[in-house]
Amino acid sequence: MSVQNLPLAKAINLGLQAAMAADPKVLLMGEDIGTLGGVFRVTEGLKTEFGEHRVLDTPLAESGIVGSAIGLAMRGYRPVVEIQFDGFIYPAFDQITSQLAKMTFRHEGALSMPVVIRVPYGGHIGAVEHHQESPEAYFAHTPGLRLVSPSNPHDAYWMIQEAIASNDPVMFFEPKSRYWPKGDVDMSASGYPLHASRVVREGTDVTLVGHGAMVSMMLQAADVAAGEGTSIEVIDLRSISPIDYAPILSSVAKTGRLVVAQEAPGFASVGSEIAATVHERSFYLLEAPVLRVSAFDTPFPPAKQEAVYLPDADRILDAVDRALSY
Amino acid sequence: MPFQSRYVDGVSSSADDTMVQLLTPEGKFKPSASAEEFLPYFEKLTDADYRKFYREMVTVRRYDTEATNLQRQGQLALWVPSHGQEGAQVGSAFATKDQDHIFPAYREHAIAHIRGVDLINIIRQFKGFTHGGWNPFDPKHKNFHIYTLVIGSHALHSTGYAMGIKFDGATNTGKPDKDEAVIVYFGDGATSQGDVSEAFVFAASYQTPQVFFIQNNHWAISVPVSVQARVPLYTRGEGFGVPGTQIDGNDVFASFAVTAKHMDDARSGKGPSLIEAHTYRIGAHTSSDDPTKYRSDAELQDWIKKDPIARLETFLKASGTEEKFFAEVHQEAADFAADIRRRTVELTGLDSSSMFDSVYSEPHVLMDEQRQWLAAYDASFEEEAQA
């Protein structure tokens, strides 16, 4: 059957399985990903199927995992690394930003770095500190890395395979609050290139753009707005670096209003980058300034405050109203 | 009583029996008791090998002096001298096999030369033409990887590479001439880096075919090794499951014999191990450093007496090598340095748009846009000039 109804976590699992079956050089590395199947069970069953040299339960050391993945990639492997939680990625920061990202450049193109770093990220799960962060802007600022984030099971299944096929390092941000809801996955074709953004709901009055878990939040906001007579176009960014601006600029040409939504703090964020670029490229087409809806510029607070900290459909709609007021 | 470091600042307590030495600082062949298990490797060497070691050490020291001078004359932004460490480098490099992979830090000029790297490429790095300089995967460079400037970070790359060798089944096959292994070089300062500790952990966990080679030159810029370690560094790996051997790093024979055995052990499935080579950075850390601010002249003079080249020269002369050989080697080294000087001065040309070419292996929209923007920007000045 070419369409399956799956949770996003299972879609990634099947995507990993397909990539590993297709290429014996693909191997998985991370903490607890083998026998346990990962704390989110994304790699469940793969160690049994492919063996302990294809699915490595590594020592508990993030820099060690990424640094040794670099060496394995030099040897011709295509490592797929799991960082257990977003807030645990920083011990690997040097290996990712100074080593992995710059290896191809340092070797003047003589060496490719086909390494994927999977990062379950974002909030809405009520967890303790360091388990709900959105660190993508740190990495988007680093030349040499590609960043993508699927918002739905279909994209997750295909994008993980495309990320593994890329000869450049790809950071794969998995919206962990979306791991469990099911969606249709067309197992026969992806439909979009890895770095394409995509209009997921058409509208005429205001454009919303975001990635990961924000996409379902934006669609929820669009439903509410429709009931109030406002037509919202929703764009799923999919690729955080590079950003595919064509669908965004076409949409803005139609609506004249853009709101960017993200779970990350707004200061020096991906949303800031999009806002600046759209202002530069579409100044005369805009009816209102591009507005950002972000988390607050505080550390991720204790879980009892996360509903206040994270933007929701109401905060998005508040920005939509402000955009329409110009 | 507080635990005493076995190091006094700058000078190791080299009096103990653990340090493997074959050739004394006075140039006498007098193996230490600890050298016994390594002697079979030394015994494979011929007179021609001794002379080859000597030629390499002299050539690269002359190269290093020339590069230091070129820096002082404004030709290079920076230079990282290798003066004093030739014994550790030349002996260990000749102990590797062509199929082995070598991950250097950034002072391993002698090893680069032995593995076939044209040393102008290191000059190109320090003159600002490249961040790398050669392709380690080009067979003519015999798997000598490019320099790494973030201290210790390459230890993990070497361990990952060695994990790959093991997963490929390319080691411990019973064919030592085909079996692959990895050697990674770093200094005493690097042993404090978390990445080096994590490399020990991964190496031990996966039993990688790998040798960690510490060139303990006693100073991490201005900080003495006693700050990095309260125990001898050859014991640093023990708690990780990476056993070590301490050698006189200014003894090229000890460096050869001990590295050859450790690499053979790595190839035959005995897992990772470590070598601590006691040596000394006679020069500055880099051309921007001033070692007179932190170490004494007495200490320097003491180490000059232990020079790796002088002791081998004494040994060679005592064993009948003619003066003519030494004159020839010094002339060759002078010619080598003159050639490097000429080519350094002649280095030109770096297309400004090449910075966009290899950030990614695959096409990237920002690289395309910015390459085009720069071309148009540059062209606008030409148009202005013509107008």
> Which CATH number goes with the domain that contains A80?
3.40.50.970
Q: Look over chain A and give the mean of its residue pLDDT values, rounded to a whole number.
A: 98
In this prediction, residues B313-337 reach a mean pLDDT of: 97
A13 with A67, same domain: the answer is: yes
A130 with A227, same domain: the answer is: no
Interface test with B, best of A66, A107, A148, A244 (most B CBs within 10 A): A107
A178 with A241, same domain: the answer is: no
| A147 found inside a domain | yes
Q: Look over chain B and give the mean of its residue pLDDT values, rounded to a whole number.
A: 94
| A233 found inside a domain | yes
A144 at B interface, C-beta within 8 A:
yes
Whether residues B165 and A76 touch (CB distance < 8 A) is answered with no
| B173 found inside a domain | yes
Residue finishing a domain among A118, A153, A186: A186
Whether residues B168 and A61 touch (CB distance < 8 A) is answered with no
CATH number, position A241: 3.40.50.920
A271 with A167, same domain: the answer is: no
Q: How confident is the model at residue B280 (pLDDT cuts 50, 70, 90)?
A: very high
A161 with A202, same domain: the answer is: no
Residue A237: pLDDT above 90? yes
What pLDDT does residue A311 have?
Answer: 97
SS (H, E, C) chain A: CCEEEEEHHHHHHHHHHHHHHHCCCEEEEECCCCCCCCCCCCCCCHHHHHCCCCEEECCCCHHHHHHHHHHHHHCCCEEEEECCCHHHCHHHHHHHHHHHCCHHHHCCCCCCCCCEEEEEECCCCCCCCCCCCCCHHHHHCCCCCEEECCCCHHHHHHHHHHHHHCCCCEEEEEEHHHCCCEEEEECCCCCCCCCCCEEEECCCCEEEEECCCHHHHHHHHHHHHHHCCCCEEEEECCEEECCCCHHHHHHHHHHCCEEEEEEEECCCCHHHHHHHHHHHHHHHHCCCCCEEEEECCCCCCCHHHHHHHCCCHHHHHHHHHHHHCC
B188 with B221, same domain: the answer is: yes
A289 at B interface, C-beta within 8 A:
no
B196 with B289, same domain: the answer is: yes
| B113 found inside a domain | yes
Interface test with B, best of A68, A98, A107, A145 (most B CBs within 10 A): A68
Q: How confident is the model at residue B386 (pLDDT cuts 50, 70, 90)?
A: confident
Q: How many beta-carbon pairs below 8 A join chains A and B? A: 131
Which sign, positive or negative, has the C-alpha torsion A150, A156, A160, A166?
A: negative
Amino acid at A249: L
Of A59, A95, A106, the CB nearest to B202: A59
Query: Alpha-carbon distance A31 to B44, whole Å?
Result: 46
Residue among B107, B62, B116, B118 nearest B85 (CA)? B107
A166 with A313, same domain: the answer is: no
Residue A6: pLDDT above 90? yes
| A191 found inside a domain | no
B58 with B155, same domain: the answer is: yes
Residue B11: pLDDT above 60? no
The range of the structural domain enclosing residue A235 comes to: 198-324
In tens, the pLDDT along B80-139 reads 999 999 999 999 999 999 999 999 999 999 999 999 999 999 999 999 999 999 999 999
B372 with B321, same domain: the answer is: no
Whether residues B157 and A67 touch (CB distance < 8 A) is answered with yes
B60 with B27, same domain: the answer is: yes
Q: Which residue in chain B has the smallest CA separation from A92? A: B195
In this prediction, residues A303-307 reach a mean pLDDT of: 96
Interface test with B, best of A58, A63, A75 (most B CBs within 10 A): A75
Residue B15: pLDDT above 90? no
What pLDDT does residue B16 have?
Answer: 61
What pLDDT does residue B1 have?
Answer: 36
Distance to chain B for A18, nearest Cα, Å: 21
The rounded percent of chain B whose pLDDT value lies above 90 is 92
Whether residues A68 and B157 touch (CB distance < 8 A) is answered with yes
Of A67, A74, A75, the CB nearest to B198: A67
Whether residues A71 and B156 touch (CB distance < 8 A) is answered with yes
Name the least confident of A33-37, A149-153, B192-196, B287-291: B287-291
What pLDDT does residue B7 have?
Answer: 54
In this prediction, residues B334-344 reach a mean pLDDT of: 98
Residue B2: pLDDT above 50? no
Distance to chain B for A229, nearest Cα, Å: 38
- For chain B, the domain total comes to 2
Residue finishing a domain among A137, A161, A186: A186
Distance to chain A for B180, nearest Cα, Å: 12
CATH number, position B310: 3.40.50.970
| A224 found inside a domain | yes
Chain B partners within 8 Å of A75 (Cβ): 160-161, 163-165, 168
Query: Alpha-carbon distance B310 to B301, whole Å?
Result: 14
- For chain A, the domain total comes to 2
A109 with A223, same domain: the answer is: no
Of A27, A61, A112, the CB nearest to B361: A112
Whether residues B201 and A64 touch (CB distance < 8 A) is answered with yes
| A269 found inside a domain | yes
B368 with B236, same domain: the answer is: no
Beta bridge partners of A158: none
Residue finishing a domain among A157, A186, A215: A186
A63 at B interface, C-beta within 8 A:
yes
A53 included as an active-site residue: no
Residue B250 contacts residue B313 (beta carbons within 8 Å): no
Distance to chain B for A261, nearest Cα, Å: 23
Of A98, A108, A112, the CB nearest to B130: A108
Which ipTM was obtained for this model? 0.97
| B1 found inside a domain | no
B281 with B298, same domain: the answer is: yes
B283 with B359, same domain: the answer is: no
| A277 found inside a domain | yes
A244 with A169, same domain: the answer is: no
Instruction: Considering only residues B13 and A178, tell me which one the structure prediction assigns the higher pLDDT.
Output: A178
A69 with A214, same domain: the answer is: no
Task: Assign B351 to helix, strand or coil.
Answer: coil
Q: Which of A53, A124, A131, A195 is catalytic?
A: A131
Q: Which H helix or E strand runs over B244?
A: strand B244-248
Q: Give the phi and the psi of residue A235 in degrees, each rounded to 5.
A: -115, 125
Chain B partners within 8 Å of A113 (Cβ): 361
The range of the structural domain enclosing residue B373 comes to: 352-386
Q: Which residue in chain A has the smallest CA separation from B131? A: A106
In this prediction, residues A189-208 reach a mean pLDDT of: 97
A276 with A179, same domain: the answer is: no
A77 at B interface, C-beta within 8 A:
yes
Interface test with A, best of B158, B360, B368 (most A CBs within 10 A): B360
B280 with B370, same domain: the answer is: no
A141 with A222, same domain: the answer is: no
Residue B10: pLDDT above 90? no
Distance to chain A for B51, nearest Cα, Å: 34
| A193 found inside a domain | no
B144 with B35, same domain: the answer is: yes
Chain B partners within 8 Å of A63 (Cβ): 156, 194-195, 198
Q: How confident is the model at residue A254 (pLDDT cuts 50, 70, 90)?
A: very high
A124 Rama sector, left if φ>0, alpha if ψ -120 to 50, beta otherwise? left
In this prediction, residues A245-269 reach a mean pLDDT of: 98
Half-sphere exposure of B146 (CA within 13 A, CB side): 27
Show the tokens assigned to B173.
Answer: 């096959």
Whether residues B157 and A144 touch (CB distance < 8 A) is answered with no
The rounded percent of chain A whose pLDDT value lies above 70 is 100
A50 with A155, same domain: the answer is: yes
Planar angle of CA B246, B251, B253, nearest 5 degrees: 95
Whether residues A71 and B194 touch (CB distance < 8 A) is answered with no
| A141 found inside a domain | yes
B139 with B195, same domain: the answer is: yes
Distance to chain B for A35, nearest Cα, Å: 17
